[in-house]
Structure 1
């Protein structure tokens, strides 16, 4: 009689377990179906928004291409006041469109971040469900293990019942292994989704930085036409006289100030050229191009060099920063870094604005080229050489316009360099490099 009740208890436990499992699966499937219906509806509205943004971007890109063609044609013409005014107007309109373009791409990126967060939440929900299933399987196997094989055999009236119990155990063990494998797969997917989210968040920061550059450049562009008309009073003769005077005055050009506003560094163009040539001789990068990149990086960052590592630097860079300061025997609390902006993090160091972890990856090569051991991100020659190395690694040492343009894009946007929205940065650097090269040609003649 005792064996009978024991058998009945075990049988009921097994049925209860499988009954609960069937109920659990049914609830899971129902939840998944509801979520899928909601997801389809949500995805449809998101896709509509994506398509709308892309259509707007395509239209803006077509207008930008048109203005670029006008700018290229104007630049090939003889310098006249009329041509210069037309050029400034076209550049201003192009820049206004690029500001709109950046805002639309930023909205696209935010949509991507929201989608990725939703996907991560979905994976985490799947992981939670699989873990609960695994717990049920493990509990079932545990209950089987509480009874010996002899007890199992004697508790059953027929041998087929014993085999049925054994088959159930094998099935449960198989399901346990499958669930463990599924959990591992979900974890891998989850890590991948989180990495993709991190990349999208990094791109969002790049776009916000680009917006800052564009706003500053647009303000300069708006003033340039007004200043030109004021200086020439709208007269062609006055403009030509101004050009002739600028070309003839090499001494004034040498003494012209080269400012890296963001880091509070100022020197004459002649001094800046000497530092750039020091780096260029060791890396093969054109001095005018290097000066243009460094000025572009510094000029828009009004918060550069006014921060503190403890509150403005991301925690992932703080260890590297302390290592750099320790090697240079510097007090980290006294060393200037970029202040944290309204988005992202600060913590960039010196004239070239390297983050600590990036600086460490270039440190040994910079030291070998400059002879400084260890090199310092706050030393002008070390900083210029590090920037030149980074640009050379991106192809700038080929000294072609296309290679330099690409290198400046990589310097700013990294793996996103090929996206049209960042073209503004490369174009601005190349325009500035052409201006500086013209000044250097006069100075060195």
Structure 2
């Protein structure tokens, strides 16, 4: 390469040669004895700036990281402690459920369930605090990436300024200002080294931008987790109130007498017509029907997907009953922008006005935008659309249609194992339905447990309706 330098340099266009000389170690200015090293000077300035910056923030970041780690450790210990207490109550409930049915047994079960739910509400609150910390960390990491990108941009701006200044010098002037050809070619060699650093800086910028994207995705996941936990807390509070009310009603109706409890239970079981006419309400979406009619829709979906009808009814009841915001929103205001195109596509193919189609309202946390009785987000609905159409014959299927919605829920539950119809398989499918990939976190156990409890109660009513 060195043997070719004299020939190649004089053949290069002036502008290209100037670009090659962009970061040469220096050029003689004035009488040729005074040197200015633009790159060296800029690099030193920027290095000093970066060093001072790091010295200023590094101790703070260490302290913040230590504080965050300590808080997380404390939260983790408290969560473990609460989980142990929850398991004690769960064991006591299972033991009582194995005993002969009696008023005393039923009151004991309710009291244990109330105490267990109180602990689960505390557990969820701690989990929310933990997620809040994670969100704060992700936001700081994104901010840190932005700061690093700004620093890299400052370096590149200095490079561009240097290039501009060299661009003002003609080739003859540049050659004359160097003391000898040896210095001139040394500058070229230095340029090659700097060009390597430039490429490295460009790669760093690409890496930093990718890092920001990764952290933004992670932040979005944490916010989704926050939304799920807030929804779970709402379910738990409703369950707590429901158990308290059930206990008070039981004591009021039986007056603490075993004989009255037996009569009450017998009446509830053998009054089949009353069970058939019992209202099954999907509260949040404003859909109500008799239990017998709801069972018909669930049995239709069960025949198509293999999912137990009572379990499917329990899932849909839980999904629509936890919040009053379900089905009272508008896509423009309440739906995440990422779901807009999918929602509009669904509405266009159904031939409906998107502004007239109800979706879940945006709560105080996260986003709304879920559709119909099964409360699916648009993108999720589209991912199952082909299977729904094959099962129901509706093409395109309609998320606001009860049969289409029930079948879609059944397809998703079956995919996660519910078609096995065992307790464990259904419990796991319910957990995945609610929490996705984080289904195995202990804080979400309440959801699976409460769905299975409701499914058991509905199954008793189904058995009475079907004469089993």
SS at match of 1:42: helix
Moved more, 355-364 or 8-17: 8-17
SS at match of 1:338: coil
Structure 1 stretches lacking a partner, 5+ long? none
Please give the alpha-carbon distance, in whole angstroms, between the structure 2 residues aligned to 1:217 and 1:9. Answer: 88
CA shift for structure 1 position 167: 2.3
User: Equivalent of 1:265, from 273, 280, 287?
Assistant: 287
CA contact (8 A) 2:28 2:34 kept: no
Residue number in structure 2 paired with 1:174: 196
SS at match of 2:288: strand
User: Equivalent of 2:392, from 347, 354, 370?
Assistant: 370
CA contact (8 A) 1:291 1:433 kept: yes
CA shift for structure 1 position 104: 0.4
Runs of 4+ in 1 over 6 A off after TM superposition: none
CA contact (8 A) 1:137 1:175 kept: no
Residue number in structure 2 paired with 1:324: 346
CA shift for structure 1 position 11: 7.6
User: Equivalent of 2:115, from 93, 105, 114?
Assistant: 93
SS at match of 1:24: helix
* Per-residue CA distance 1:157-212 (angstroms, 9 max, x = gap): 33432233222212221111111111111111111111111111111111111111
SS at match of 2:37: helix
User: Equivalent of 2:211, from 178, 186, 189?
Assistant: 189
CA contact (8 A) 1:141 1:172 kept: no
Residue number in structure 2 paired with 1:221: 243
Please give the alpha-carbon distance, in whole angstroms, between the structure 2 residues aligned to 1:13 and 1:192. Answer: 45
User: Equivalent of 2:252, from 218, 230, 251?
Assistant: 230
Residue number in structure 2 paired with 1:304: 326
Structure 2 residue 297 is matched with structure 1 residue 275? yes
Pairs within 5 Å for 1:2-21: 7-8=29-30, 14-21=36-43
Pairs within 5 Å for 1:39-118: 39-118=61-140
Structure 2 stretches lacking a partner, 5+ long? 1-26
SS at match of 2:269: helix
* Per-residue CA distance 1:63-85 (angstroms, 9 max, x = gap): 01111111111111111111100
Residue number in structure 1 paired with 2:221: 199
* Per-residue CA distance 1:354-406 (angstroms, 9 max, x = gap): 22222122222111100112211111111100111111111111111111111
CA contact (8 A) 1:277 1:287 kept: yes
Going from structure 1 to structure 2, the CA distance change for 1:10 and 1:46 (only over 3 Å counts) comes to farther
CA shift for structure 1 position 274: 0.8
Moved more, 398-407 or 91-100: 398-407
Normalising by structure 2, what TM-score? 0.90
Going from structure 1 to structure 2, the CA distance change for 1:151 and 1:64 (only over 3 Å counts) comes to same
Structure 2 residue 60 is matched with structure 1 residue 38? yes
Please give the alpha-carbon distance, in whole angstroms, between the structure 2 residues aligned to 1:9 and 1:62. Answer: 83
CA contact (8 A) 2:39 2:159 kept: no
SS at match of 1:301: coil
Residue number in structure 2 paired with 1:345: 367
Please give the alpha-carbon distance, in whole angstroms, between the structure 2 residues aligned to 1:64 and 1:11. Answer: 83
Structure 2 residue 265 is matched with structure 1 residue 253? no
Normalising by structure 1, what TM-score? 0.94
* Per-residue CA distance 1:302-322 (angstroms, 9 max, x = gap): 122222222222222222222
CA shift for structure 1 position 13: 6.7
The count of corresponding residues between Structure 1 and Structure 2 is: 441
Going from structure 1 to structure 2, the CA distance change for 1:11 and 1:330 (only over 3 Å counts) comes to farther
